[in-house]
Structure 1
Amino acid sequence: MEHRIIAIGRQFGSGGHEIAFRLSEELGVPMYDRDLVEMAAEKLGLSEITIEAVDESVFNTFLSSYRYNGLAPRRIPLNDSTFETQSKIIESLADKGPCIFVGRCADYVLRENPLCLNIFLYAAFKDRTERIMKRYNISKKEAEASIKKMDHRRKQYYETYTDRRWGHIESHQILFNISQLGITRTIDTIKHLYADPISVPSTDI
């Protein structure tokens, strides 16, 4: 039976997690965000803290941790191993039924799936700063620094493991400006597209 998948890319502070969570509740389908970190940690036999340190980030090869297989294995940088493991988990979950993925290059991993709705969420820097200040109870300066750091990490990670540009119109089926649309209207629009697959054809990039 065919089922729909939603893959959400997002700028830090754009409201991606909240939107995914509300979509999950309103559509009645599971959402996977940090859950993928927990699953990857279990598969790799490592702690969640270790996996989270490289999740959606790319480190210099010489500074990366390594995983060993067998007596004389090939050495795989931990960030590469994490990406490979999370990708297999994403593919497995997508095969089982409808679901929502947040980040982790899920749109690229599922690029051959014609029923994967691939979207990217962004917002004005000012709005993102205010959201992060409120969410983490930090100063404006700290929030701005966090946004720049996280956006850089996500962009570098995405463009390292895919042949696409992070947040670019050519990489995603639809881009949503949360500052202009608001969270509720964005959710309503995504729900409409989810219910009508013909509205958004598969992107062949």
Structure 2
Amino acid sequence: MTKRIITISREFGSGGRFIGEEVAKNLGIAYYDKNIIDEIAEQLGLSPDYIQESAELSPKKGLFAYALVGRDITGKSVEDMVYEAQRKVILDLAEKEPCVIIGRNADYILRDRDDVLNVFIHGDMPEKIHRIIGLYNVEAKEAVKMMADTDKRRMTNYNFYTDQKWGKASNYTLCLNSSQLGYDRCEKIIMEC
């Protein structure tokens, strides 16, 4: 079956977002990343900034703190409601049109579809640090901290909501090392698939 949806999960600093954007542009298909946040915010009546903080990177303080957060009468936390809205938006987008979706557990959310190519982009530490320093104008020590914090939160969120292990090769169709392959080759491999 032809793959019409591409999900890209990535380590912070690996260039996964950039690679996904280029793939979408080259294939002439829709690209969804942070623009999903506005749709989720609208559905829930919350600010896009709050959704940005909660959507992909919650639970913020780890599973123990997550267990202590406030819940509605159904037992759902705000993070759970954000996740459910995010899930609905991603399912709707996949029905609507061919697209590239960055992060947000889209690989898991769309796992039952045959027309999805799930990609995980990772990289070598020195290249990721260099990229983060350039993008965020920070020192190497801060780049390492940003990487560790972001990836830990992505991993916690993914593991919590999917019962899978974030970054585990068997969860994805392709796992690509952008440091070894380069962005252009990663893009070409994804498009060929």
Distance 2:175 2:32 in 1: 20
**Amino acid corresponding to residue 188 of structure 2 in structure 1:** D
Identity of aligned residues (%): 36
Q: Does 1:28 align with 2:28?
A: yes
Report the secondary structure of 2:119's partner residue: strand
The two structures have a TM-score, normalised by structure 1, of: 0.87
* Cα contact 1:6–1:118 (8 A) shared by 2: yes
* Cα contact 1:17–1:102 (8 A) shared by 2: yes
* Cα contact 1:3–1:97 (8 A) shared by 2: no
Which of 1 and 2 has greater Rg? Answer: 1
Distance 2:75 2:165 in 1: 28
Structure 1, unaligned stretches of length 5 or more? 194-205
Q: Which residue of 2 aligns with 1:140?
A: 140
Distance 1:42 1:76 in 2: 19
* Cα contact 1:4–1:98 (8 A) shared by 2: yes
Distance 1:65 1:101 in 2: 30
CA displacement at 1:27 relative to structure 2: 0.6
Q: Which residue of 1 aligns with 2:128?
A: 128
Report the secondary structure of 2:169's partner residue: coil
Q: Which residue of 2 aligns with 1:109?
A: 109
CA displacement at 1:76 relative to structure 2: 2.1
Distance 2:70 2:177 in 1: 37
Report the secondary structure of 1:76's partner residue: coil
Report the secondary structure of 1:114's partner residue: coil
**Amino acid corresponding to residue 45 of structure 1 in structure 2:** G
Q: Which residue of 2 aligns with 1:152?
A: 152
Kindly tell me the number of residue pairs found equivalent between the two proteins. Answer: 187
* Cα contact 1:8–1:121 (8 A) shared by 2: yes
Structure 2, unaligned stretches of length 5 or more? none
**Amino acid corresponding to residue 13 of structure 1 in structure 2:** G
1:45-94, Cα deviation, whole Å (9 max, x unpaired): 0101111221212142365465x5xxxx4352111111110010000010
Task: Determine which structure has greater relative contact order: mean sequence separation of CA pairs < 8 Å that are 6+ residues apart, divided by chain length.
Answer: 2
CA displacement at 1:20 relative to structure 2: 0.9
Q: Which residue of 1 aligns with 2:59?
A: 58
**Amino acid corresponding to residue 25 of structure 1 in structure 2:** K
CA RMSD of aligned residues (A): 1.5
Distance 2:33 2:10 in 1: 12
Q: Which residue of 2 aligns with 1:197?
A: none
Which runs of structure 2 are paired with 1:5-16 in the superposition (5 Å)?
Answer: 5-16=5-16
Distance 2:28 2:101 in 1: 14
Q: Which residue of 1 aligns with 2:170?
A: 170
Q: Which runs of 4+ in 1 moved over 6 A?
A: none
